[in-house]
Structure 1
Amino acid sequence: MCSYNSVNGVPSCANQDFLNKTARQQCGFNGYIASDCDAVGNVFNDHKYTKTPEETVAAVLNAGMDVNCGSFLSQYTNSAVMQNRVSVDQIDRALHNLFSTRMRLGLFDRNPKDLLLYGRIPPNEVCSQEHQNLALEAARKGIVLLKNDHKLLPLSKNKSMSLAVIGPNGNNANVLQGSYFGPACNPVEIFKVMQSYVGYVSFLEGCVDGVNCTSATIDEALNFAQNSDQVVLVMGLSQSQEREEVDRVHLELPGEQELLITNVAKASKKPVILVLVCGGPVDITFAKSDRNIGSILWAGYPGEAGGLALAEIIFGEHNPGGKLPMTWYPKDYIKVAMTDMNMRADTSREYPGRTYRFYEGPTVFNFGDGLSYSRYAYEFTSTTPTMVNLTQLSTVKTSMGFDSVNYMSVDDIEGETCEKAKFSVTVGVQNSLEMDGTHPVLLFMKPTERKDNGYPVKQLVGFQTVNLKAGEREEVVFELNPCHHLSTANKDGLMVIEEGTKDLVVGNTEHIVNIGF
């Protein structure tokens, strides 16, 4: 599918390099290419890339697009043919790509609803127990524990305990779904799930207009907090703040959410638990350093089973193991120009870079952060090499960078040669506490010395998930391909393998590998 964006001034649906050269020639794609809905109209109306509708039809068909989601082609293709801008052969090609794909799927053999395995799926199968279990598993694994001072979590299940759930996302099952979702199977609000764990649960939205929170009902919230044994604040964002065609203009929590959180935390009998329901990062530096906020959970948009998964984690029925999929930047990061697509930091113009691989400024949380109720220890085993000798690549010409370091261009190395140069990294992982856990093991590579050569601060080269019982140890093996995992893009955009030492990093454990030619 080609979408609404343009790259280097060319709208995606009119970009022959992407649709034809990359997708079809390089990747061997033999299906049909469809536009996002009304993306063809955008080429003409919004990008102003073409002067007439007929010229637009020619541009997208010449680029390799086959199917238009929308009415633009149905309105203007005939006139484009009449003006000799589009040939019948081009239309035949688009139809061939569409119908040959549908034929391969068997859609013309007989009634598709009778033919296909997924042609008739009744609601009871959609909402089967197996599917609901899968939704719960996905929610459990996606929730990230970001702070847990003094082991506040998990809470004890206590029928004599009173719990206050405060926040605009605490009693809203829809917000947990995120964007673009169908009818959910038995969605339950966080507040309602909590009622099965403790004796008394009260709920207060805390904001007069949902997550926008232009006005917080702080006095009422303080009363709830002071009269409860424990407080769970369920804050964050919703589709009113972040969705298709709606972008945030800041990285802070909306409105008076921060004011509500800090006041409730200060008034509560015990440190509070902060749950954030949101897709993108938010700057909650204030919460990280607030002693009255004992635990922070990021739920993302966890889906129909998100309320149950959160309750299971809060009350210790599930050990959290999720990791952040993105860096959380401080609020000042919005000063970086949205149109500046440079990845690498540039101190000469105070540009901090983008993504965990190149960003060199302060962070709220980092890509890959995530705590657990267990403690995991790592060690690189003796079978992990300290020297990776790539002499088998010696037929490849080496070059010298401006920093006098030899390197090989990956483009000059044959794929079979790269396969022969593979090596294994073995990491021992031990669950050293008394709770079973599921734990993602993230293997990073970083240079032993930071140089001004444009190479990443670090980069993820592999990850595996292990299920460890309390006290159990297991070894995980990463197969590394030098061309894929030891290469980096230099300042000229070439993927190169550089001679010298690299650090392999898991958690706080490092292993130095020397790469020689």
Structure 2
Amino acid sequence: MDEFSFCDKSLSYEVRVKDLIDRMTLDEKAGQIGDTALGVPRIGLPKYEWWSEALHGVSDVGQAGNHVTHFDDVIPGATSFPTVILTSATFNQSLWKKIGQAVSTEARAMYNLGHAGLTFWSPNINVVRDPRWGRALETPGEDPFVAGRYAVNYVRGLQDVEGSTEDDEVADLDSRPLKVSACCKHYAAYDVDNWLGVDRYHFDAIVTEQDMMETFQRPFEMCVKEGDVSSVMCSYNKINGIPACADPRLLKDTIRGEWNLRGYIVSDCDSIDVMLDAQKWLNDEPYYCLDLDCGYYYPNYANTSVRMGKVKEAELDSALKNLYNVLMRLGFFDGSPKYEKLGKSDICSHENIELATEAARQGIVLLKNANQTLPLKSNKIKTIAVVGPHANATSAMIGNYAGVPCRFTSPIDGFSKYGKVKYETGCGEVFCKNESLIFPAVRAAKKADATVLVVGLDLTVEAESLDRTDLLLPGYQQQLIQQVSSQSKGPVILVIMSAGGVDISFAKDDPNIQSIIWAGYPGEEGGHAIADIVFGKANPGGRLPLTWFYTNYTDMLPLTSMRLRPIESLDYPGRTYKFYDGPTVYPFGFGLSYTNFTYKLVSSTKTVNVKLNKFQHCRDLNYTEGSYKPPCPAILIEDLKSSCGDYKVKLEIEVKNVGERDGSDVVMVYWSPPQGIAEAPIVDLVGFERVFVGGGGGSVKVGFELDVCKSLGLVDFRGYRLLPSGGGKFVIGDGVLSLPLQINFRR
């Protein structure tokens, strides 16, 4: 191999990759652009399987019959962290990165042992626009800024080589080493799977430029620009008539051009097949916007397309350059000395299992705690009735895109450490069609010192290819809850396992149910974490990453309406906390604690004076009738680009714990734009920080420095990013503090 320049470590990756590609025939090139790259034995290029998954732990999901990631007697399992929706509820950015680091360490160890690849098509960062979407469990929730911050931190955890930082000077950023390769998916406007006969393969998402830029693209832009992700996956659906995987404006112009992706673009699996056969796109050859086809069309037909003159061979060269440069950065050709000693002992380590437990503890959200029922006191609770379809949950706790966990700690296992458990299922399964099982659960509750009802949803109700049609608990679950709680001898704690919100207003208002906890899908140690929360070993500090709507919300508008803002002509309400102002069961960001926190303003910027030059012109904005309209309503942010960094807003908040227990609080900073701007968000989350504060009067100061252009701008209906003038305000948390800010433009 010494005669091949692509093996010469002294040369740049660019030179080596070009040499590798130049040695391939056209047919050999075509064989490398499917998820199973065939390799070229005559030049020593090995086969490579691109498809691996690591959504919340190393998974064995992949190409049927060709799984590069696998478990066996050598590697029986890997740490299964909580699903993303619960991890995002921690609002703990350092934790998100730490989980990514743990997952990538296990992935590298498995790679060394021949049990995994190096390219992982995770995370899923689609925004949950509608509560019915079945894949909410895979995502960071409904807020695009939160989804983007999750993406940046998890991707950095997966990709960054420990000991270096994202700010390290690298002569050529295309050569920055990667621990493993991450992939942000599914780009873009993808959140309809299968709803009342409408499926993701045929759905045409009609999206305004305003919503596209403000909501659907924002997490991906952050993932590429700030996370430096090495791959982006496009989605099945069409967007305004064009398949997402065939739109050069979305892919080449935006991802690779405007955002400067350093990596490859891959199709969702079989989406080219979907594009041609289901969507009848062009009724001909696929459009070559992609570098990699998760499927067989590119490998089978790319060479023919070149010979027919439909595609330039140079386009294949460009795709291969993007692909093999990523493998060079991963050490696929040269090895990675930093990670070559990782092995079996680095998988399912005590530290990683504890991290999975802690992530679940931090994410669990306390929704109700009447009369401070929780935490239960272990010296007073000797017997615990643990009932419900999830009381003995195992695989349900790890959701989808999950491998084989190291172990399971079910709820009944977790509570058995705190008292004698009496277990009754109450339902045969989540659909709970058999009410005859309710009576044994009632009988158990009558005799126990406390009752824990563990109910909710699972992958038979909300999943990939399965959207919900309502927001209710399935079958007889409500009847189970009400009958058990009305007869229970001791306090009743209701635990909900779900991703999307559930209308549990009946339980919220029921005095027989003292406490309610949302546990998401809490991972392999979910039962451990739930019991620790209930008995006070841990103080809950999670916040809802989704709005919990009443079930009648689903009667107000179809899942297929993509608009975020209300549509008055159709009486459609707005979506997410940013545009919906109606009643909710629980709002976005809600979460209680076993202690109480107070906020005090330490300091804040009151005024921002933006100096304009003669090339920066005022832009118009629509205002509601009767509202004050400033002489210069807005400035195009692009025109301020060179000076944006000069305009910062600083806030400092003192958080005081006025209770006795130590606890964590999430300080959430929302921006409310100047009044009167038509169709502006009600509020928009622009900063958040989770902080630990000691009990008995402990306090910490939390500072935020916000870039005016990034945090306070708006996207108008024409697709312009604008900075509006006038008086807006910051809202801290649920409105406990309101901080005015005046933005002035001056010549």
Shift of 1:182: 1.6
Say yes or no: does 1:215 pair with 2:434. Answer: yes
Q: How does 1:82-481 map to 2 (within 5 A)?
A: 82-109=307-334, 112=335, 115=336, 117-118=338-339, 121-158=342-379, 161-198=382-419, 200-208=420-428, 210-216=429-435, 217-335=437-555, 336-381=557-602, 383-391=603-611, 396-403=616-623, 404-405=629-630, 406-447=632-673, 449=675, 451=676, 453-470=678-695, 471-481=697-707
Distance in 2 (alpha carbons) for counterparts of 1:232 and 1:300 = 16
Distance (Å, rounded) in 1 between the aligned partners of 2:440 and 2:422 = 12
Question: Secondary structure at the residue paired with 2:664?
Answer: strand
1:75: which partner in 2? Answer: 300
2:251 maps to 19
2:240 maps to amino acid:
N
Count of residue pairs brought into register by the alignment: 502
The percentage of aligned residue pairs carrying the same residue is 38
What's the offset of the Cα at 1:514?
2.3
Secondary structure of 1:247 counterpart? coil
Say if 1:161 and 1:501 are closer, same or farther in 2 by CA, change over 3 A: same
Q: Secondary structure of the residue that 1:179 maps to in structure 2?
A: coil
CA contact (8 A) 1:380 1:428 kept: yes
Deviation at 1:297? Answer: 0.8
Does the 8 Å contact 1:453/1:490 carry over to 2? Answer: no
Shift of 1:407: 2.2
Matches within 5 A, 1:46-61: 46-52=278-284, 55-56=285-286, 59=287, 61=288
Aligned to 1:510: 738
1:434 Cα deviation from its structure 2 partner: 0.5
- The residue identity in structure 1 corresponding to 2:415 is M
Give secondary structure in 1 for the equivalent of 2:514. strand
CA shift at 1:457, angstroms?
A: 0.7
CA–CA distance in structure 1, aligned partners of residues 430 and 338 of structure 2: 42
2:242 aligns with one of 10, 13, 20:
10
Q: How far has the Cα of 1:361 moved from its partner? A: 2.0
Q: Would you say the 8 A contact 1:410–1:487 is kept in 2? A: no
Provide, for residues 471-495 of structure 1, a one-character-per-residue CA deviation record: whole Å limited to 9, x for no partner.
1111111102211222222343433
Secondary structure of the 1:33 match is: strand
Q: Which residue pairs with 2:720 in the alignment?
A: 494
- Structure 1 window deviating more from structure 2 (460-469 vs 121-130): it is 121-130
Q: Any idea what the Cα deviations from partners look like across 1:290-342, whole Å, max 9, x if unmatched?
A: 11111111111111122111111100010110011111111122231222111
Moved more, 139-148 or 404-413: 404-413
| Deviates most, 85-94 or 286-295 | 85-94
State the match for 2:267 in structure 1.
35
Cα distance, 1:120–1:246 mapped onto 2, change above 3 Å: farther
Greater shift after overlay, 236-245 or 383-392? 383-392
CA distance in 2, matches of 1:448, 1:223: 58
In 1, Cα distance between equivalents of 2:563 and 2:579: 10
Q: C-alpha offsets along residues 175-229 of structure 1, whole Å, 9 cap, x if unaligned? A: 111111122123211111101112x211111112x11112232222211111111
The separation in 1 between residues aligned to 2:690 and 2:612, in whole angstroms, is 32
Amino acid at match of 1:50: L
For the residue of structure 2 that corresponds to 1:262, the secondary structure is helix
Q: 1:409 to 1:157 in 2, by over 3 A?
A: same
Distance 1:118 1:285 in 2: 51
Separation (CA, whole Å) in 2 of partners of 1:196 and 1:387: 55
Q: CA deviation at 1:448?
A: 6.7
Q: Partner of 1:428: helix, strand, or coil?
A: strand
Indicate how the Cα distance of structure 1 residues 93 and 486 shifts in structure 2: closer, same or farther if over 3 A, else same: closer
CA contact (8 A) 1:425 1:479 kept: yes
From the superposition, tell whether residues 141 and 416 of structure 1 become closer, same or farther in structure 2 (CA, over 3 Å).
farther
Task: Give the partner amino acid of 1:87.
Answer: K
Relative distance call for 1:513 and 1:393 in structure 2 (3 A) is farther
Offset of residue 118 of structure 1: 4.8
Tell me, in whole angstroms, the C-alpha distance in 1 between the residues paired with 2:389 and 2:291. Answer: 45
Q: CA deviation at 1:123?
A: 3.6
What is the one-letter code of the residue matched to 2:685?
A: L
- Distance in 2 of aligned mates of 1:183 and 1:71: 28
Query: What CA deviation, in whole Å up to 9, does each residue of 1:245-275 have, x standing for no partner?
Result: 1221211111111111111111112441111
- Residues 449, 491 of structure 2: 8 Å contact kept: no
- Work out whether residues 674 and 725 of structure 2, in 8 Å CA contact, stay in contact via their aligned partners in 1: no
Partners in 2 of 1:401 and 1:95 — Cα distance?
Answer: 45
1:103–1:228 Cα change, 3 Å: same
CA RMSD of aligned residues (A): 2.0
The aligned counterpart of 2:63 is: none
Rate the CA distance shift 1:392–1:430 in 2: closer, same or farther, 3 A.
farther
Aligned 8 A contact 1:222 1:264 in 2: yes
Deviates more, 1:316-325 or 1:118-127: 118-127
Question: Relative to structure 1, is the Cα distance of residues 343 and 149 closer, same or farther in structure 2, using a 3 angstrom cutoff?
Answer: same
In 1: Cα distance, 2:600 partner to 2:592 partner = 19
Tell me how far apart the structure 1 counterparts of residues 612 and 699 of structure 2 sit (CA, whole Å). Answer: 36
Taking the aligned partners of 1:354 and 1:38, their CA distance within structure 2 comes to 31
The answer on whether the counterparts of 2:471 and 2:550 sit within 8 Å (CA) in structure 1 is yes
CA distance in 2, matches of 1:399, 1:77: 47
Higher RCO (CA < 8 A, seq sep 6+): 2
Where 1:310 maps in the other structure, the secondary structure is helix
**SS in structure 1 opposite 2:531?**
helix
The answer to whether the 8 A contact 1:384-1:424 is kept is yes
1:160 shift after superposition:
5.7
Counterpart-to-counterpart distance in 2, 1:414 and 1:389: 13
Go from structure 1 to structure 2 and tell me whether the alpha carbon gap of 1:294 and 1:392 turns closer, same or farther (over 3 Å shift): farther
Which residue identity does 2:430 align to in structure 1?
V
CA distance in 1, matches of 2:621, 2:311: 49
Shift in Å, 1:280? 1.2
Q: Is the 8 A contact 1:343 1:353 kept in 2?
A: yes
What displacement does 1:7 show? 1.4
Residue aligned with 1:414, SS: helix
CA shift, 1:9, in A, is 1.6
Separation (CA, whole Å) in 1 of partners of 2:337 and 2:725: 54
AA matched with 1:481: D
| CA distance, structure 2, for counterparts of residue 119 and residue 5 of structure 1 | 40
SS at match of 1:69: coil
Q: Match of 1:323, SS?
A: coil
Which region of structure 1 is more displaced relative to structure 2, 156-165 or 472-481?
156-165
- 3-state SS of 2:729 partner: strand
